[in-house]
Structure 1
Amino acid sequence: MTLKLNIKDRFNKDLPADSIIENSRRQVKKACFSYVTPKVPSNPSLIHVSPDMLKNLGFSEADIKTNRFLKIVTGAELLPNTKPYAMCYAGHQFGNWAGQLGDGRAINLAEIEHNNKRWALQLKGAGETPYSRSADGLAVLRSSVREYLCSEAMFHLGVPTTRALSLSLSGDQVMRDVMYNGNPKYEKGAIVARVAESFLRFGSYEVFTARGDDKTLKSLVDYTINNHYSHLGVPSKEVYIAFMEEVAQRSLEMVIHWQRVGFVHGVMNTDNMSVLGLTIDYGPYGWLEGYDQDWTPNTTDSTHKRYRYGTQPQIVLWNLFQLANAIYPLIDEAEPLEKILESYHANLEVEYLKMMQSKLGLKNDHKNDALLIEDLENVLQLSETDMTIFFRNLANFKINEPEKWFKVIEDAFYHPDDIKSNIEERWDKWFKIYKERLLLEELNDDQRKTAMNKVNPKYVLRNYMAQLAIDDADKGDYKLIDELFNLLKKPYDEQIASKKWFAKRPEWARHKVGCSMLSCSS
């Protein structure tokens, strides 16, 4: 069967390629990518396919039943007239310059146009590239399940994100040290076919500025504007500034959504920041269980907690500063870039306030809303309180029954017996103020609940849920992957039949590997 896809490759046709064809680890100069062929898996098998992305790319339902589809999404066969490649980029990791990084375990297959939208199709875990450094370019089942489920779940939450087409086993065994503690073992190899308008990162531009390669930098920025920001006009100094301004705005929108749903990325290095404002590279991510501004899911970050939940908006600003430095040679003027960064800081306060007001069911501005929100964030951290359950159940609060506040949010407390004396007084005080604030709104209880339930999800991909799916998948049982995939397509709906997933993290998962904190091991 011939797959009827509209292949429209541009990145590897319009930009300079690595002149060396050999697939060896090296520093790649004056090139945006290196041609590379995926490793042929020994015995590939398909675990799951996203019906939405299947349609978005122009595949048919019949295609997924063919051996050809399986071969393409696992790298065993190339699409006709395509030349796969790995992208060159650099980055700051945990605040330090890391130099060249690049697609060490990702290979771009092709760009596909369908229904007036262009998608880049990429395989993660399909073999080594010139950027793999000392690694093998492969991925394992546990990390692949997490990326596949999470990228699609984030889309349905309304968070800008890369997407996923399929999840497959390679049939190969891959050696990994899960916690970097000297205990490596073999795991099942897996491949995610992931999709985005583009996988360009902040680091894609940093690498050329760091090397003083303004020519290649200009070619990449111009390409980005012409293909992804064409509404800004023909590339020029003014358009470069407008480009930076829009990247900042998109990045702000993205991180505000993260804060809204309680998502913590875990590895906000500049090479993991999309220039399109998409959530990219799902590694040691997690959702807040107990509301904790200092929580990070990344074991590597457990000491300094640079990428903890509460600092994510500020880290985006830090990363934007690095991007501004990267494109500065094309502008040669600091002031307009400084203004953009200053505006981000000012806009952050405004957008965060709006987001939190929506979570509390407040439609109109009030001078004391910022204080109300600050007080809430403080009292939430007095005891272990589940963020998702708290905000979802808060919608059930009734203005005429303020004394029943504990009953409304009781299920969110991991230790309800701790809510006494000072903590109980703090909550009681907050709810009294909240009631008075709600009286200033025009919405009744039912209207407010409907509005709140549109921004406060009932279901998110908690780490323990993903781990249960991983454990089953490791035994060859993929039913839970499918169940969670479909559950998370409607995260704001009640889904009564699935209410078992609207629950606090079980105690057995508190310190279990994969459920509490994770490493970057893939």
Structure 2
Amino acid sequence: MKNLKINNRFTAELPADPNETNEIRQVSNAVFSYVNPTKPSNPKLIHASKEVAELVGISPEEIQSESFLNAFSGKEILPETRPFAMCYAGHQFGNWAGQLGDGRAINLTEVENNNEFFTLQLKGAGKTPYSRTADGLAVLRSSVREYLCAEAMYHLGVPTTRSLSLMLSGDQVLRDILYNGNPAYEKGAIVCRVAPSFIRFGSFEMLTARNELKNLKQFVEYNIKHYFPEIKGEPKEQYLQFFQTVADKTREMILHWQRVGFVHGVMNTDNMSIHGITIDYGPYGWLENYDPDWTPNTTDSQNRRYRFGNQPQIAQWNLYQLANALYPLINEAEPLEKILESFINDYESDYKTMFLSKLGLFTSTESDSELITALETVLQLSETDMTIFFRNLSQILKSDSAENAIEKIKDSFYKPKEISGTILESWTKWFTVYIERLNAEALSDEVRSEKMNRINPKYVLRNYMSQLAIDAADKEDYSLIDELYTLLQKPYDEQPEYQKWFAKRPDWARSKVGCSMLSCSS
């Protein structure tokens, strides 16, 4: 990788763990520990993103080189770099978990390209001082899901980490997929993830919890200097602006999640990025039928803390924890509280605008909130596929009757026979109001349809699609990974050659492991 421009700002400017042994331990007075990846026995490249490679300064030719294979499998260390794992804490499912850290992620280096900075990180590259009782490795199924999903999200327009490469390690990894006492060996794999940084809310929580306030101040100022240089003013004002910026970016990310029906599944504070990007793809999923109470996470199946409809509130709760962590630098609760209060108010306003755009309504009226609430209710009367419903909604004309409109979206119903009686009446009533509202818009049907189809994706990475790719890859057939990768680069385009993927979740996938809910092992 001759054009990789190494620039290790993080390790050069922030306090390091003086203990360089790779032993599980509590790490204090440091924000990272130096650690080398575990060397894989027989790495093999499954897939790589030419787009992301170009983004960081790697040529298409270099992707096929032995140096690429060795560097991004962890077999060899890039020249002039020292890999490291970050120290952070977090609240997991609402409970303080203390030190967590990069337990199965190792940051290779930071690079600069075209005046942008990127951190290159291997997930599944082996044990670190933060691995606790785990081995720091990853398996093929979780790695396929992460690799494909990050790129799918990017092309949907959702702020996210990126995926550079997906590799097999050549080693077997023991995993209990459902945490039910039935561990089995699976193929080991490694993903190289790319982001401006992998700094989390929990990074600040860790420093405050340990009363390392000098390091906290240094760390916040480092983040402002390198990631938010537009922030100016007195120190206290800068810290508040930093929090406001993180809150704004987080709100924007959540709005995109709700727009496309994405459910993260593990919104712990250690999985929240200061950049407002989606990180740590574990038991995620897209809504199949529109159900605000759905969570993809088996660990969360009882309380459903991280369900789809609760993601904005959880984002605010997580920001409260970040505010608590920053408080010692500010020593005033009121300005932090104002930002937190405005978070939900601004979100609700933005959510209304976003939802109306999904409906093809680009002006606002007093009755629009009622229209949205009524739709959210009727969508739940019988299982209705979110992606297909909103995509097909663009086909409705101002001249359509309610009956014609229902016919045009009928493919989104999982149980078409249920659309009768009072349920049919509810749909007819809603579409009658909706079509009246469309007629109050100045846009032509054609222009409105085009705008809607840039907001409502035709293709998303449904869990069953990932599972099919995983099953094939387990048999050394990687063609489906490539097909889905290609499909998901243009999720708003019709792509008639891939029409088979514009379909409801098949019945066989309703309760199959990996296709409905997933564990944190996923």
Could you tell me which residue of structure 1 aligns to residue 249 of structure 2? 250
Could you tell me which residue of structure 1 aligns to residue 345 of structure 2? 346
1:222-371 correspondence runs (5 A):
222-233=221-232, 236-371=235-370
Could you tell me which residue of structure 2 aligns to residue 7 of structure 1? 6
CA deviations over 1:9-39 (Å, ceiling 9, x no partner):
1101100000111110111001000000000
* Maintained 8 Å contact 1:226/1:234: no
* Whole-angstrom distance in 1 between the partners of 2:10 and 2:102: 15
* Whole-angstrom distance in 2 between the partners of 1:235 and 1:170: 49
Amino acid in structure 2 at the alignment position of 1:432: T
SS in structure 2 at match of 1:441: coil
* Maintained 8 Å contact 1:163/1:196: yes
Structure 2 residues without counterparts, runs of 5 or longer: none
User: Mean Cα displacement is larger for which, 91-100 or 233-242?
Assistant: 233-242
Could you tell me which residue of structure 1 aligns to residue 148 of structure 2? 149
SS in structure 2 at match of 1:494: coil
SS in structure 2 at match of 1:231: coil
CA deviations over 1:162-182 (Å, ceiling 9, x no partner):
001000000000000000000
CA deviations over 1:66-119 (Å, ceiling 9, x no partner):
111100000001111111000000000000000000000000000010111110
* Whole-angstrom distance in 2 between the partners of 1:477 and 1:236: 55
Q: State the shift of 1:4 in Å.
A: 2.3
Could you tell me which residue of structure 2 aligns to residue 219 of structure 1? 218
* Whole-angstrom distance in 1 between the partners of 2:90 and 2:16: 20
CA deviations over 1:171-215 (Å, ceiling 9, x no partner):
000000000000000000000000000100000000011111101
Could you tell me which residue of structure 1 aligns to residue 444 of structure 2? 444
CA deviations over 1:445-470 (Å, ceiling 9, x no partner):
11111010010000000000000000
SS in structure 1 at match of 2:76: coil
SS in structure 2 at match of 1:48: strand
**Identity %, equivalent residues:** 64
Amino acid in structure 2 at the alignment position of 1:225: I
Q: State the shift of 1:42 in Å.
A: 0.2
* Whole-angstrom distance in 2 between the partners of 1:192 and 1:294: 31
* Whole-angstrom distance in 1 between the partners of 2:435 and 2:68: 56
1:6-85 correspondence runs (5 A):
6-85=5-84
Could you tell me which residue of structure 1 aligns to residue 478 of structure 2? 478
* Maintained 8 Å contact 1:385/1:412: yes
SS in structure 1 at match of 2:39: coil
* Whole-angstrom distance in 2 between the partners of 1:433 and 1:385: 19
* Maintained 8 Å contact 2:400/2:435: no
User: Mean Cα displacement is larger for which, 32-41 or 399-408?
Assistant: 399-408
* Whole-angstrom distance in 1 between the partners of 2:420 and 2:444: 30
Q: State the shift of 1:3 in Å.
A: 2.6
Could you tell me which residue of structure 1 aligns to residue 183 of structure 2? 184
Could you tell me which residue of structure 2 aligns to residue 461 of structure 1? 461
Amino acid in structure 2 at the alignment position of 1:92: H
Could you tell me which residue of structure 1 aligns to residue 170 of structure 2? 171
Q: State the shift of 1:222 in Å.
A: 0.7
* Whole-angstrom distance in 1 between the partners of 2:412 and 2:445: 20
Amino acid in structure 2 at the alignment position of 1:331: I
| Residues 234/197 of structure 1: CA separation in 2 closer, same or farther (3 Å cut) | farther
* Whole-angstrom distance in 2 between the partners of 1:69 and 1:396: 46
SS in structure 1 at match of 2:96: strand
CA deviations over 1:401-429 (Å, ceiling 9, x no partner):
22302211100000101000000000000
* Maintained 8 Å contact 1:222/1:235: no
Return the TM-score normalized by structure 2.
0.99
Q: State the shift of 1:439 in Å.
A: 1.2
CA deviations over 1:135-179 (Å, ceiling 9, x no partner):
000000000000000000000000000001000000000000000
SS in structure 2 at match of 1:74: coil
Q: How many residues were matched structurally?
A: 521
Q: State the shift of 1:235 in Å.
A: 6.7
CA RMSD of aligned residues (A): 0.7
Amino acid in structure 1 at the alignment position of 2:142: S
* Whole-angstrom distance in 2 between the partners of 1:60 and 1:438: 49
1:514 matches 2:514 = yes
Amino acid in structure 2 at the alignment position of 1:325: N
* Whole-angstrom distance in 2 between the partners of 1:293 and 1:159: 19
Q: State the shift of 1:374 in Å.
A: 0.3
Could you tell me which residue of structure 2 aligns to residue 110 of structure 1? 109
* Whole-angstrom distance in 2 between the partners of 1:78 and 1:324: 37
1:121 matches 2:89 = no
CA deviations over 1:305-356 (Å, ceiling 9, x no partner):
0000000011000000000000011111111100100110110110100110
* Whole-angstrom distance in 1 between the partners of 2:341 and 2:60: 49
Q: State the shift of 1:358 in Å.
A: 0.4
Amino acid in structure 2 at the alignment position of 1:521: S
* Maintained 8 Å contact 1:225/1:235: no
Could you tell me which residue of structure 1 aligns to residue 489 of structure 2? 489
Q: State the shift of 1:55 in Å.
A: 0.3
Q: State the shift of 1:61 in Å.
A: 1.3
Q: State the shift of 1:234 in Å.
A: 6.1
* Whole-angstrom distance in 1 between the partners of 2:115 and 2:233: 21
Structure 1 residues without counterparts, runs of 5 or longer: none
Could you tell me which residue of structure 2 aligns to residue 424 of structure 1? 424
SS in structure 2 at match of 1:292: coil
SS in structure 1 at match of 2:503: coil
* Maintained 8 Å contact 1:34/1:88: yes
* Whole-angstrom distance in 2 between the partners of 1:483 and 1:213: 49
Q: State the shift of 1:399 in Å.
A: 1.6
